[in-house]
Chains A and B, each alone.
Chain A
Amino acid sequence: MSRVSAAAAFCATLKRDLLISIKRRNEVLNPFMFFLIVVSLFPLGISPEGAMLRQIAAGVIWIAVLLASMLSMDSLYRSDYEDGSLEQLLLSSQPLYLLVFAKNIAHWLVSGLPVIVVSPLLAYMLSLPAAGYPALVLSLLLGVPVVGMVGSIAVALTVGLGSRGLILAVIAVPMSVPVLIFGTLAVQNSLAGASPVGYLALLGAMLAAAASLAPVATAAALRIALHG
């Protein structure tokens, strides 16, 4: 067996996960469609008036993103667990947190990025004023990976369970409260004419903290879940 550098292992894991996502398009598309449907329910359920929608637009989009990422994360390690390739990852000589980080990035590219790309369209449908768009997109860009990485700890802890859709949400949703708060505050602040930079910086700090700590915790959680 030839020795593989950590960077090569990282790239290989990333590439593999992306390829698998392309082959299983439906699994990736479902949470995305769920996101679109949830957002379009709010005007019907609350009020079609622009004045009302404008106020809740950022919150609605953020909450829908949270729920959709809970759904998409459910399958984050499941197929790998079922076909045994997760066991291989654990046995590999490469640092596990690095491989976990690669999987997180792949997951974000496949399920986080599309949501962020369509968010301006949905924001328009919810009549968010133009001033809020940059803050919304930037806050999603910074915040969604945090939700994904923190949630991936919970996914890893519950990886061996048969049906875990709800327990994952119970564990992971309360953890994403700070991201929700600062994401919506950034948008509301820029709507009020103030600068959203402070909140975006806080989200950036959270992203840095999550990127450096969460993969380590996820790696530990995977070892616990598989090896006790």
Chain B
Amino acid sequence: MAGRWQWLHRLGSPRWFYATTTRWLPWLAGAMALLLAVGTVWALLYLPPDYQQGDTSRILVVHVAVAGASLSFFPLMAVAGTVTLVWRIKLADMVAKNAAPLGAWFSFLTLATGSIWGSVSWGTWWEWTDSRLVSMLFQFFLLLGVISLRAALDNSATAARACALLSIVGCINVVVIKYSVQWWNTLHQPPSPISMQVGSPNGPEFWVATAIMAVAVYLFLALSLILATRNEILERESKAQWVRELALGAT
């Protein structure tokens, strides 16, 4: 075991992670700012209005990008959880711990932007027949469950492993929920005559803008998660010499 997985343990060293991300952060932040600016300006100023939805298609650029990123949280937490359970690498748990609340915020923003868009397109703020919104709601609930489990368990090692297991179970569950809600939904005929198929009447301009925004949102996700993980490292490794030196050097 020692030889074969050596690289993973080196990768999982908090100090190595901290040093590497220190080098990466400016590039990540720069790329994110650039793409966010380009995506936003394009979506707000240059994107031609949709012939059916008018200017509300500008909402979709943000909504689709955020929704896509929200779907990556449970897989991310499940992978981190597997690493925690199998190799007991602390860094994986530090990432997973901060991914849960961030994922809950992402899911919430997806729901909020979705219902603001829906208030025009469907004429209602909430639509149970849209399976994507409903399954996102339950993903939100499952993430809240992971967060409250973490909060309830005092021992951080137990909490790490318990949340890791719950994330793996939750990841499988999110997939099952998604498909069962989709199925359920096709049986309750959607009352809205407007196609809910995103992008069906939209041209390539829409997709290019959305793709740029999606990359920007993923970069933002990575940046925010890295920043939170670095804080976690500082707190948990506060007894290490390198953290002490860093703290003294920074203030």
Contacts and interface: CB of A to CB of B under 8 A. Distances in A.
Contact of A171 (B85, B138, B149, B184): B149
A157 B177 contact: no
Interface range, B side: 20 to 34
Interface string B175-191: 01100110110010000
Interface residues of A, number: 26
Interface string A153-179: 110011011001001001101110110
Contacts of A157: 149, 162, 165-166
Nearest to B155: A228
Nearest to B187: A185
B120 interface: no
Given A177-B181, A181-B181, A228-B155, A171 B145 contact: yes
Interface stretch (A29-37, A67-75, A88-96, A218-226): A218-226
A173 B177 CA distance: 12
B158 A164 contact: no
Given A185-B187, A224-B161, A178 B180 contact: yes
A217 B81 CA distance: 13
Contacts of A170: 141, 144-145, 148
A174 B165 contact: no
Given A174-B142, A177-B138, A228-B158, A185 B184 contact: yes
Contacts of B152: 158, 161, 164, 167
B132 to A, nearest CB: 15
Interface in A140-164: 150, 153-154, 157-158, 160-161, 164
A206 B162 CA distance: 23
Given A157-B165, A224-B165, 20 more contacts: A153-B165, A153-B166, A157-B162, A158-B152, A160-B153, A160-B158, A161-B152, A171-B145, A171-B166, A173-B141, A177-B180, A178-B180, A181-B184, A182-B180, A185-B187, A217-B165, A221-B162, A221-B165, A224-B162, A225-B158
Closest 7 A-B residue pairs measured CB to CB? A178-B180, A171-B145, A174-B141, A224-B161, A228-B158, A181-B184, A157-B162
25 contacts: A153-B165, A153-B166, A154-B166, A157-B162, A157-B166, A158-B152, A160-B153, A167-B145, A170-B148, A171-B148, A171-B166, A174-B141, A174-B142, A175-B142, A177-B177, A177-B180, A181-B184, A185-B187, A220-B85, A221-B162, A224-B161, A225-B162, A228-B155, A228-B157, A228-B158
